[in-house]
Structure 1
Amino acid sequence: MSASPLVNASPELLQDLVDANHILFNEGVVDAFGHVSARDDRRSDHFLLARNMAPGSVEVGDIVEFDLDGKALNGEDRRVYLERFIHGEIYRARPDVMAIVHSHSPSVVPFSIVKSVRFKPACHMCGFLGHGADIFEIRDAGGPATDLLIRDQHLGKALADSLGSSNAVLMRGHGSTVVGPTLKQAVYRAVYTEVNAKLVADALRLGPVEYLSLEEANAALAIEKEIERPWQFWKAAARAARTK
């Protein structure tokens, strides 16, 4: 499919966003649902997100450009993700965020509904979790009878407020949202959020967990300087899987 008539974004960012969708599917973070966005690299008040479709099927021509209110600026004739307000409101609140991943990864969801176990980093690959991820309770912003989806700007802002200055937020009974200063780092963090959830769940069966201290977590962020290593590996694996 030919490229969408985007207003500003570079071809390199478009291709990286396509690869990000495929990587997240191939690594088991998203399935038919979930989405990843990138802030426009030529206009900071716009962001890029695929049309409403399964992430593993996204191509360059499926990318739509949005303003921070969630209005599509191209591809108006195509269905778009209902929860695009997650992305617009986080980008509005966090100028440092360049990419966002929202998923319903099955290993993470249990930590959103068992509030007595805080989701904290358990290994050095997960230092981005810092002091741990807070849980967004949609009832506080949307009342007792929502479908748990971020359907409008009001709920998007409430989620952004819950995220605060952190890199990840859990969403009760729904999933998680992870952010990064680059698209590649956001993908890395989404993958390792799933890894961390599996490690902690396994460890809790053995006994109390010794989590990283905040100082250790901050020091461990240095691993993200090696972001090209996992990115290139995951990209090659995802592309190979699509050719089988």
Structure 2
Amino acid sequence: MNVLDAAIQDLVMANHILANENIVDAYGHVSVRHPENPQRFLLSCSRSPEFVAADDILEFGFDGEPVVPGGKKPYLERFIHAGVYAARPDVNAVIHSHAADVLPFTISTRPLQPVLNTASGIGEHVPVWDIRDRFGDTNILVESIEQADDLASTLAGNSVTLMRGHGFTAVGRTLIEVVKSAIYLPLNARVMMAALSLGGEIKPLSPGEIAIRHKTPIDSPAYTRAWEYWTNRVKLSRVGACSCCGGEHGQHDTDNARGK
């Protein structure tokens, strides 16, 4: 398997992992920088992540448009990925999610802070991007490269930016790293909300604790073990499911017998 095919295979699995872990549903998307051309990135066509397959993966330029036009319809918010990759040469994977647990922190003045060691990857500072600040009333979707560039400027050098009334965009050095951040970000939000409900002050991770955790090598077993775990959960969730319709094996025989 060549490096491009391997990247596509991992990207497909990342889509399935994020869907299985309830980080994305019918909406949301994940991309990787092209392994052979850093001026391009790979992202699925407009399809729910749970059903993404290898032939759904398209190649994009930093203008947010498919390199080969006229194919499958792309996501409306593909520009998010284009803007981030153009602004952040250190980023090799991007996730956009509408996870409900983070939404309270997108519409309040209380900042989201890392309180769990597993969520240290979100960083010390989690900014909130409000599309209305520069673009006025919109549908709150990122549908142009200008909007994406503005989002990227709020993200700046951070690992995550929340999006007012919308969700979040997370970035990472690798696909595994950003998947981990995206999975533990909503859990971190839930734990922080629970702690705040008890009253008093909370104790977030210190800058030093975050820095120590960030030194974990990207090829560390801490990451590869997690990827193996999430991948296996996807496979177990699909045991007995029909690949063409999602139903149980044998359902077609039953339907055929009934004349369906």
TM tier relative to shorter chain: over 0.9
TM-superposed deviation, 1:96: 0.3
Q: Which amino acid is 2:144 matched to? A: D
Task: Answer whether contact 1:9 1:40 (CA < 8 A) is retained.
Answer: no
1:75 to 1:26, Cα distance in 2 relative to 1, 3 A? farther
Give the structure 2 partner of residue 213 of structure 1. 206
Aligned-pair Cα RMSD in Å: 1.4
Give the structure 2 partner of residue 66 of structure 1. 60
1:83 to 1:9, Cα distance in 2 relative to 1, 3 A? farther
Q: 1:20 aligns with which of 14, 25, 29?
A: 14
Task: Answer whether contact 1:51 1:79 (CA < 8 A) is retained.
Answer: yes
Q: 2:174 aligns with which of 155, 166, 182?
A: 182
Post-superposition Cα deviations, 1:66-121, rounded to whole Å, max 9, x if no partner, equal: 00101112362311100011000100000000000000001011111112x11110
Q: Which moved more, 1:234-243 or 1:117-126?
A: 234-243
Q: 2:119 aligns with which of 118, 121, 126?
A: 126
TM-superposed deviation, 1:214: 1.1
Query: Following the alignment from structure 2 to structure 1, what is the Cα–Cα distance between the partners of residues 150 and 69?
Result: 28
Percent of residue pairs identical: 38
Q: Structure 1: state its 5+ residue gaps.
A: 1-7
Query: Following the alignment from structure 2 to structure 1, what is the Cα–Cα distance between the partners of residues 238 and 10?
Result: 16
Query: Following the alignment from structure 2 to structure 1, what is the Cα–Cα distance between the partners of residues 84 and 3?
Result: 19
Give the structure 1 partner of residue 130 of structure 2. 137
Please tell me whether Structure 1 or Structure 2 has the larger radius of gyration of its CA atoms. 2
Asked if 1:237 is matched to 2:233, the reply is: yes
SS of the residue 1:227 aligns to: helix
Task: Answer whether contact 2:123 2:160 (CA < 8 A) is retained.
Answer: no
TM-superposed deviation, 1:237: 0.6
Give the structure 1 partner of residue 196 of structure 2. 204
TM-superposed deviation, 1:9: 6.2
Task: Answer whether contact 2:25 2:49 (CA < 8 A) is retained.
Answer: yes
Give the structure 2 partner of residue 102 of structure 1. 96
Q: Which amino acid is 1:205 matched to? A: S
Give the structure 2 partner of residue 111 of structure 1. 105
Asked if 1:146 is matched to 2:138, the reply is: yes
Give the structure 2 partner of residue 5 of structure 1. none
Higher relative CO (CA 8 A, sep ≥ 6), structure 1 or 2? 1
Give the structure 2 partner of residue 227 of structure 1. 223
Task: Answer whether contact 1:126 1:217 (CA < 8 A) is retained.
Answer: no
Give the structure 1 partner of residue 72 of structure 2. 78
Q: Structure 2: state its 5+ residue gaps.
A: 242-260
- Displaced runs of 4+ in structure 1, greater than 4 A? none
Number of residue-to-residue matches in the alignment: 235
SS of the residue 1:100 aligns to: strand
Alignment of 1:47-58 (within 5 A): 47-58=41-52
Q: Which moved more, 1:134-143 or 1:98-107?
A: 134-143
TM-score (norm 1): 0.93
